[in-house]
Structure 1
Amino acid sequence: MFFKKAADLPTPETALKGRPQPIPTAAVHYVTGRALEAAPPEGFETAVFGLGCFWGAERVFWQTPGVWLTRVGYAGGITPNPTYEEVCSGRTGHTEIVEVQFDPREVSFAALVKLFLESHDPTQGMRQGNDVGTQYRSAIYTISGEQAATAAQMIADYEAALAAAGHRAKVTTEVKPLDVAYLAEDYHQQYLAKNPNGYCGIGGTGVSCPLPPVPAG
């Protein structure tokens, strides 16, 4: 039952019920050794991205200078505290995400959106390459109005860049305020550091995403 791929998102009536308790996960980041559930340092910010299978997606961000911590999970859905198998069923409404804690003095949110857009194909709807299902949809879950505005502008600019390069498909990235993100199970956290030869479905369009101009002053 859990591995049937759904093409449509569930409703509150059809979604799985979930559970009140969080799913157990890792205590520390496998690469950095930092506490996985600790609050980020003062002045740091958080961004939440979905760009297909979170195994390869997380590595893209933990390798980025200015990123303090990454952790993978599920967001954008209905079912509380879902398991991986439940998310894969398409009956929770969640997509696989990477939560990125970063120092904005070293890397901007816009730079992370650029990396996000260039690291996958954001035009594919409920899939990413050979990974098919609602949990692989492209998404940015914003923390502030400023993030939402930046994401919307950069997606529009990237869609224009794709069109100029001959891509006819429209960007399907879901952009909405973050409600809640649930951490994924221990074995998913920093998966490709634990399994260097593991599956990585990350692959972009080859089209560069322009950065917005930096405000004067």
Structure 2
Amino acid sequence: MQEIYLAGGCLWGVQEYLRHLPGVIFTEVGRANGTTQTLDGDYDGYTECVKTHFDPSIISLDMLITRYFEIIDPYSINKQGIDEGEKYRTGIYSKQAEHLVVAKQFINSREDSVKIAVEILPLSNYIKSAEEHQDRLQHYPDDYCHIPPATLHKYKQ
């Protein structure tokens, strides 16, 4: 099993989408790459993200990134859907350098690579979100989500 952190706007929808992908074993919502060690109500440079454990024998990292690109606007800076602000920026973060290489290769292979605004950085820190944010759309399926329902549940079985 491998671990990567994906930021794509409001974390509720990103988690709901990722959890249904074949090969994704575990998801947890949190905040990544902020400037502080704790989160006291202010985001302090953090972005909302989903800690994602996946089995590379079922879903390759390249395919996981391909699926992630189905739910984001990769050209938008600090905005996904109606969510605006630094905490809604898109990003791919990892503790493993090879993951970052794969992510950069993925973006560089696209014809639109110069327009893409997705951060690709080492994970510097992570703070797990409160329990009421974990699996939020499982508990409240009619709650807000910036991902269109057809896309959100594309891989749900």
Report the TM-score, using the length of structure 1 for normalisation.
0.65
Q: CA deviation at 1:102?
A: 1.1
For the residue of structure 2 that corresponds to 1:125, the secondary structure is: coil
The answer (yes or no) to whether the contact 2:37–2:125 under 8 Å persists in 1 is no
1:71 matched to 2:31:
no
- Quick check: which one's strand share is greater? 2
Hey, what does 1:188 align to over in structure 2? 133
Residue aligned with 1:71, SS: strand
**Runs of 4 or more above 4 Å deviation:** none
Provide, for residues 34-79 of structure 1, a one-character-per-residue CA deviation record: whole Å limited to 9, x for no partner.
xxxxxxxxxx100110000000000111011111110000001112
Whole-Å separation in 2 of the counterparts to 1:81 and 1:115: 31
1:157 maps to which residue?
Answer: 109
Give the secondary-structure state (helix, strand or coil) at the position aligned to 1:86: coil
Normalized per residue, the structure richer in helix is 2
- Measured in 2, the distance between the counterparts of 1:71 and 1:141 equals 14
Structure 1, residues 129-188: CA drift from partner, whole Å, max 9, x if none?
A: 211100000100022221111100111223x1x48xxxxx81111111111211001111
Q: 1:103 aligns with which of 30, 55, 70?
A: 55
Aligned residues: 149
Cα distance in 1 between the residues matched to 2:33 and 2:84: 17
Quick one: which amino acid aligns to residue 42 of structure 2? E
Asked whether the equivalents of residues 50 and 138 of structure 1 are also in contact (C-alpha less than 8 Å), the reply is yes
* Partner deviation per Cα, 1:89-133 (whole Å, 9 max, x = no partner): xxx000000010111111111111111112110111011121110
- In structure 1, distance between residues paired with 2:38 and 2:24: 26
Match of 1:175 among 115, 120, 127: 120
* Unaligned stretches of 5+ residues in structure 1: 1-43, 164-168, 207-217
Between the aligned partners of 1:120 and 1:129, the Cα distance in structure 2 is 9
Whether 1:197 aligns to 2:142 is yes
CA distance in 1, matches of 2:68, 2:109: 14
**Partner Cα separation in structure 2 for residue 68 and residue 115 of structure 1:** 15
| Conserved 8 A contact 1:52-1:202 | no
What's the C-alpha RMSD, in Å, of the aligned pairs? Answer: 1.7
Task: Give the Cα separation in 1 of the matches to 2:36 and 2:45.
Answer: 7
Identity of aligned pairs, percent?
A: 32
In 2: Cα distance, 1:183 partner to 1:137 partner: 17
- The aligned residue for residue 116 of structure 1 is 68
Aligned with 2:92: secondary structure?
strand
The one-letter amino acid of 1:49's match is: L
Q: Distance in 2 between matches of 1:102 and 1:118?
A: 18
For 1:193 and 1:81, locate their aligned partners in 2 and report how far apart those are by CA, in whole Å.
27
Structure number, greater radius of gyration: 1
